């Protein structure tokens, strides 16, 4: 294992039962001069959840499958609904989320679905638990656990992510409700620095969240999103990403997070959205895979990329380019807008359009499934799917 896991307390183990791959540094006899003493109080917290965490992570990171991110807050979901002329009511949110989770055959291409808290406890319009509908399709339910971004005092107009207070009991309750993985999104802004303070705060918050999640049976998705905002080139994104991921894995190790029981949700390495020099899918793949090889241990089972405002087709093409050769990790997707955009517009809030909208979502899920396998061609894509979705200063 990459690290001892900071999880549920179990009986103390002695050195002979030390977690595989860990060693104890023994003091040199030439330096230490003392009388023999009783064994020290050093203990390892082994986990009753460890095997389950590893199994869950591997299930989500299974060949040809990725994550449907449908964890938009009620406010953000309201913006989506407003774009098709619907009010932001619980009934309308329920109708849309029911459409998403009940797509026939979705589990062939989707292995996990990230839910907002309302959705985790919600039923479909037919009265079935959303969680049960997902499980029936072999889709693992997940839960967004952060409480959003707030200004980071002392920084260059940057943000930090709140939500650690009370996270342990909330996570335990989410597990009881059927969630088996969690998501915490923090962001780093290149135009605003990023400052050392912002990077360390992002990394530390992610590490604490990851340890708490594992302690309560949830596989943590680690997501430090490097925002697309800016005019910077791809080399600048690459340098910032290296710095951010170095900090993240340093603090994950400091917090004894089990690497085999996490998933990553990074940004692809691309130029800023306002940069004049655009990158090809091959360039994005080259830079992104180089970053992963330099920073991500092979013990991590899955890299589930966010789309971050790329068009549906662009996100799929870039993922496909990264899967043209074998990787040490499962390289896949965790898309929200890049899966839902055309689906939402096809639905338009009309019951008679539900089937057509579901078929549209299935087309996008299948396209990204093929991209995960390195077999996507881009043929037959609609013009709608090629439209970029970048929003400057986007709030999730």
For residue 269, count other CB atoms closer than 10 A to its CB: 26
Structure tokens at 149: 């971004």
Q: How far is CA 222 from the centre of its chain?
A: 6
Q: Are 304 and 220 in contact (CB under 8 A)?
A: no
The Cα 77–Cα 133 span in angstroms is 21
Secondary structure of residue 186 in the 3-state scheme: strand
Interior CA angle at 311 toward 308 and 314, to 5°? 95
The Cα 217–Cα 122 span in angstroms is 21
Q: Are 187 and 225 in contact (CB under 8 A)?
A: yes
To the query of whether residue 265 is one of the catalytic residues in this protein, the response is yes
Helix extents (H) in the chain: 50-60, 74-82, 90-101, 117-120, 130-136, 167-177, 196-215, 234-254, 281-295, 312-322, 337-347, 354-372
Q: Render the burial of 22-56: b for 16+ CB within 10 Å, e for the rest.
A: eeeeeeeeeeeeeeeeeeeeeebebbebbeebbeb
For residue 11, count other CB atoms closer than 10 A to its CB: 7
Set 117, 265, 314, 381: catalytic member = 265
Set 72, 117, 158, 223: catalytic member = 223
Cα separations in angstroms, 193 against 168, 198, 236, 240? 32, 9, 11, 9
Secondary structure of residue 146 in the 3-state scheme: coil
Cα separations in angstroms, 349 against 91, 163, 246, 249, 357? 11, 33, 44, 43, 10
Dihedral over Cα of 335, 286, 329, 209: its sign: negative
In degrees and rounded to multiples of 5, residue 139 shows phi and psi of: -110, 125
To the query of whether residue 239 is one of the catalytic residues in this protein, the response is no
List residues with catalytic annotation: 223, 265
């Amino acid at each position: 294992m990459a690290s001892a896991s900071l999880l549920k307390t179990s009986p103390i183990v002695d050195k002979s039962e030390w977690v595989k791959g860990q060693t104890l540094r023994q003091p040199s006899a030439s330096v230490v001069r003392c009388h023999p003493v009783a064994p020290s109080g050093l203990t390892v917290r082994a986990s009753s959840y460890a095997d389950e965490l590893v199994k869950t992570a591997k299930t989500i990171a299974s060949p040809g499958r990725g994550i449907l991110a449908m964890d938009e807050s009620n406010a953000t979901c309201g913006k989506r609904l407003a774009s098709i002329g619907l009010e932001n009511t619980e009934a309308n949110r329920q109708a849309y989320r029911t459409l998403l989770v009940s797509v026939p055959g979705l589990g062939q291409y989707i292995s996990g679905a990230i839910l907002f808290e309302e959705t985790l406890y919600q039923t479909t319009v037919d009265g079935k638990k959303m969680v049960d509908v997902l499980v029936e399709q072999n889709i693992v339910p997940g839960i967004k656990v952060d409480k959003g971004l707030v200004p980071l005092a002392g920084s260059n107009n940057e943000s930090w992510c709140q939500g650690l207070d009370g996270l342990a009991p909330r996570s335990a309750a989410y597990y009881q409700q059927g969630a088996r993985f969690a998501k915490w999104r923090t962001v780093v802004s290149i135009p605003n620095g990023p400052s050392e303070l912002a990077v360390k705060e992002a990394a530390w918050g992610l590490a604490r969240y990851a340890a708490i999640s594992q302690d309560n049976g949830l596989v943590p998705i680690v997501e430090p999103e490097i925002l697309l905002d800016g005019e910077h080139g791809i080399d600048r994104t690459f340098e910032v990403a290296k710095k951010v991921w170095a900090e993240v894995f340093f603090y994950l190790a400091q917090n004894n997070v089990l690497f085999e029981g996490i998933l990553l949700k990074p940004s692809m390495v691309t130029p800023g959205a306002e940069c004049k020099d655009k990158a090809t899918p091959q360039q994005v793949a080259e830079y992104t895979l180089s970053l992963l090889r330099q920073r991500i241990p092979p013990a991590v089972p899955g890299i589930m990329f966010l789309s971050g405002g790329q068009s549906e087709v662009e996100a799929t093409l870039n993922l496909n380019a990264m899967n043209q050769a074998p990787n040490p990790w499962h390289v896949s997707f965790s898309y929200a807008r890049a899966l839902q955009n055309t689906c939402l517009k096809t639905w338009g809030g009309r019951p008679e359009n539900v089937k057509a909208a579901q078929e549209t979502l299935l087309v996008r899920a299948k396209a990204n499934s093929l991209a995960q396998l390195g077999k996507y061609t881009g043929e037959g894509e609609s013009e709608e799917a090629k439209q970029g979705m970048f929003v400057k200063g986007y709030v999730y």
